[in-house]
């Protein structure tokens, strides 16, 4: 299993020295970078993301979503309720391609990390993926038998958003919160995206055009079993891993949870539908298809500047 890597460098917007700390939260490396003046807020930022994990995790027995999957009913807290509301919005916006009930596949049939397992065609065909099996209100949620919820398609972005809210409330002017492929630049920053086809190389780099922008990359090289053909990005309609896209990078002022969910959904859509969907959003995008074609949105200059792409891959018109 390979972990998705986005290399992040801060540029000259920070007048003071910068301080960066990293912890493992939500099964990934979370890094918070700020200037020395705001360094006292970093610990609280990590604690907020840990609170999100304790609500949305499908692995921790104390988490609300774990309990929902196990007991079919759970009393919700404010974080889990908000995340489920957002997930319903994404489900509707994406024509069902963002569906958190793929948990019956991602949690039971494909197992990543320890005790890896590759699902058979018969197992996939029999998987129960049905958003209608999930019912919830502000206080509680119910889930029908055979269905499981997996918030991995938006959870990290959601955690980043909550930490960013805290830094804004403290009037922090220079902070970056990065949870693997989900990054929030409260101030200007420079981003380098790993080349998924060539380890330890950079596919592209750019600078954010304005303050408070989100960057999300979803890729089939993030988590997989044996090969990227068995990746964690599951098409909920076909009930199998996606195969058309290597990576999708989105840049926008939208919430990081939005970008996380939209990148996840676009990754599992048919090719033309994915581009129609992305073009309907207020985002800039950079997409590497499985056939090696690199596609950059026409509006990318509205969100980035100084975009550089590795010479061996040419930008498409």
Q: What is the predicted pLDDT for the residue at 114? A: 57
What is the percent of the chain where pLDDT is above 90?
Answer: 62
Q: Largest alpha-carbon pair distance within the chain?
A: 58
Q: Residues 231-254: pLDDT tens digits?
A: 568 889 988 887 889 889 999 999
In tens, the pLDDT along 126-184 reads: 789 999 999 999 999 999 999 999 999 999 999 999 999 999 999 998 899 999 889 99
Q: What is the pLDDT of residue 81?
A: 98
Tens-place pLDDT, residues 188-236: 888 888 777 776 778 888 999 999 999 999 876 554 444 455 556 888 9
Other Cβ atoms within 10 Å of 308 Cβ, number: 12
Averaged pLDDT, 248-275: 96
pLDDT, mean over the chain: 86
Query: How many residues appear in the chain?
Result: 317
pLDDT digit string, tens, across residues 44-58: 999 999 999 999 999
Least confident of 120-124, 137-141, 271-275, 284-288: 120-124
In sequence order, the 6+-apart residues with CB closer than 8 A to the CB of 242 are 220, 231, 233, 234, 235, 267, 268
Classify the C-alpha dihedral 270-285-7-38 as positive or negative: negative
What is residue 2's predicted lDDT score, i.e. its pLDDT?
A: 34
Say how far residue 194 (Cα) sits from the centre of its chain: 15
Residue 229: the pLDDT is 54
**Which pairs with CB-CB distance under 8 Å and at least 24 residues apart come from 81-86?**
81/136, 81/138, 81/139, 82/158, 83/55, 83/56, 83/151, 83/154, 83/155, 83/158, 83/257, 84/134, 84/136, 84/141, 86/154, 86/158, 86/257, 86/258, 86/261
The pLDDT value given to residue 44: 97
Q: At what angle do helices 256-267 and 155-169 cross, to 10 degrees?
A: 160
Q: Which two tokens stand for residue 107?
A: 């949690």
Residue 20 has pLDDT above 60, yes or no: yes
Which position has the higher pLDDT, 301 or 234? 301
3-class secondary structure, 242: coil
Q: What is the pLDDT of residue 272?
A: 96
């Amino acid at each position: 299993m390979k972990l998705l890597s986005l290399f992040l460098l801060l540029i000259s917007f920070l007048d003071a020295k910068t301080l960066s700390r990293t912890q493992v939260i939500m099964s990934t490396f979370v890094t918070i970078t700020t200037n020395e003046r705001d360094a006292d807020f970093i610990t609280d930022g990590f604690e907020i993301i840990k609170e999100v994990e304790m609500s949305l995790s499908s692995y921790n027995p104390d988490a609300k979503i774990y309990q929902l999957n196990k007991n079919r009913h759970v009393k919700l807290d404010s974080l889990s309720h908000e995340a489920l509301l957002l997930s319903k919005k994404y489900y509707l916006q994406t024509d069902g391609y963002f569906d958190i009930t793929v948990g019956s596949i991602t949690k039971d049939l494909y197992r990543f990390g320890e005790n890896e397992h590759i699902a058979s065609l018969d197992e996939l065909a029999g998987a129960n993926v049905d958003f209608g099996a999930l019912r919830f209100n502000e206080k509680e949620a119910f889930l029908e038998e055979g269905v499981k919820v997996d918030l991995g398609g938006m959870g990290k972005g959601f955690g980043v958003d909550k930490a960013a809210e805290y830094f804004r409330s403290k009037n922090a002017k220079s902070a970056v919160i990065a949870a693997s492929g989900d990054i929030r630049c409260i101030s200007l920053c420079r981003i380098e995206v790993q080349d998924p086809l060539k380890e330890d190389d950079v596919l592209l780099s750019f600078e954010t055009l304005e303050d408070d922008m989100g960057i999300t990359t979803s890729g089939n090289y993030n988590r997989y079993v044996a090969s990227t053909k068995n990746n964690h990005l599951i098409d909920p309609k076909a009930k199998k891993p996606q195969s058309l896209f290597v990576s999708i990078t989105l840049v926008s002022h939208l919430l990081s949870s939005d970008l996380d969910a939209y990148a996840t959904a676009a990754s599992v859509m048919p090719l033309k539908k994915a581009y129609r969907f992305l073009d309907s959003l207020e985002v800039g995008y950079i997409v590497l298809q499985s056939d090696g074609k690199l596609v950059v949105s026409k509006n990318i200059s509205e969100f980035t500047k100084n975009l550089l792409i590795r010479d061996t891959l040419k930008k498409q018109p």
